[in-house]
Structure 1
């Protein structure tokens, strides 16, 4: 019971900081009508988890006071509709220039990613390339992991797709990701499962067979 009450209070604090920041602990105390000790406990937890930032307000007289605002990390708590805007723009472009233009955009994005990463990975052994590619995907929100099988093949598993709304409608996005993996790793890569096709994850089997240049 106490846990649900604390969660509700923290949500209220996050909402206040979203709409009224910067705020002091006293501001929040007055608004929520709870003890300042309780407010400071919640602020301490939010600060520890990286959801808020603070700066010191130094008045002409009196003690400095901490003022709080949300961190960039906390923005994940609030609804975003970027994918809706993106899909609307892609649909407009499709009506204006055809689906080939959409595919061209995905191809150009793939080429830019190749150019960004290929030089650093070019001379690495396959195991290190797989490790770095997994880290790249993790940094981009794919919740990726990899494992090496007994026969020397690797499997990269992605448990999240940050562009799922786009990939569900434009399959060429998935095709370009597969080609990007092959280009960076320079070996044969097979997709065996796909989130946009109803799978529980995206899975890529990476062999030691070289791809044709």
Structure 2
């Protein structure tokens, strides 16, 4: 999230990040807007899955609701997991050589192949493809697929959750392509476009 908050929604998110849990009354005081306006924003944000609420008992009177960020809401704030991963991988390469990096990604490829294969099972070719797209979406790749002809399909990934790592270590992309071959049970998987090479999206053609 940007440091300069402009909308009331942004301000509420920022306050909950700093204060952890706040009531409607406390938010009203911080934001200097009406109780009704705060409740309206909270209702929308709760429906969007950005915040949760819980009851807090008081010695006297009805319980009050405390609002706090959900995991989805937390993700709106800057994270640097990728930067840390790249640093660790570079350190490993310096200590143990490039071969150790290849082994790490090969291990990841094997782990993902097993994970995907378990979910896909003995489904048909098109069903295997649909399941892979579903798994990729769960992992944040914003994937989609289309059928080009009777035996040929295309997978497009609009997002790359490991972009910083993949730009530094191209073997990550190679391992993904190999994993697709293993899981889809065809050698005819070709990466035709790659974000690490300056393309807008990652694309694969698959022939069965």
Shorter-chain TM-score category? over 0.9
**Cα deviation, residue 7, structure 1:** 5.8
Shift in Å, 1:169 = 0.7
Q: 1:94 to 1:151 in 2, by over 3 A?
A: same
How do 1:23-62 and structure 2 match up within 5 A?
23-62=22-61
* Structure 2: runs of 5+ lacking an equivalent: none
TM-score when scaled to structure 1?
A: 0.92
Distance 1:44 1:120 in 2: 36
Following superposition, the deviation at residue 59 of structure 1 comes to 1.3
For residues 183 and 24 of structure 1, the distance between their equivalents in structure 2, rounded to whole angstroms, comes to 52
Question: Matches of residues 4-23 of structure 1 in structure 2 within 5 Å?
Answer: 8-23=7-22
Cα 1:24/1:163, change in 2 over 3 Å: same
Of the structure 1 ranges 154-163 and 115-124, higher mean CA displacement relative to structure 2 is found in 115-124
The Cα of 1:179 is off from its aligned counterpart by 0.1
The answer for the alignment partner of 1:200 in structure 2 is 200
Matches within 5 A, 1:1-213: 8-187=7-186, 188-208=188-208
What is the rounded CA distance, in whole Å, between the counterparts of 1:53 and 1:87 in structure 2? 33
Residue 211 of structure 1 is matched in structure 2 by none
Moved over 2 A (4+): 119-122
**CA separation of 1:18 and 1:120: change in aligned 2, threshold 3 A:** closer
Instruction: State which drifts further: 7-16 or 186-195.
Output: 7-16
* 3-state SS in 2 of match to 1:85: helix
Distance 1:122 1:14 in 2: 42
Scaled by the length of structure 2, the TM-score of the pair is 0.94
C-alpha deviation, 1:175, in angstroms? 0.3
Distance 1:43 1:122, change over 3 A: closer
Deviations 1:55-109 (A, max 9, x none): 0112121111111000000012111111111111111111000111011100000
1:127-172 alpha-carbon deviations (Å, 9 max, x no partner) = 0000001111111110000011233211011011000000001000
- Cα displacement string for residues 151-201 of structure 1 (whole angstroms, at most 9, x for unaligned residues): 321101101100000000100000000000000001110111111111111
1:12-67 superposed Cα distances (whole Å, 9 cap, x missing partner): 11111011021100001111111111111111111111100000112121111111
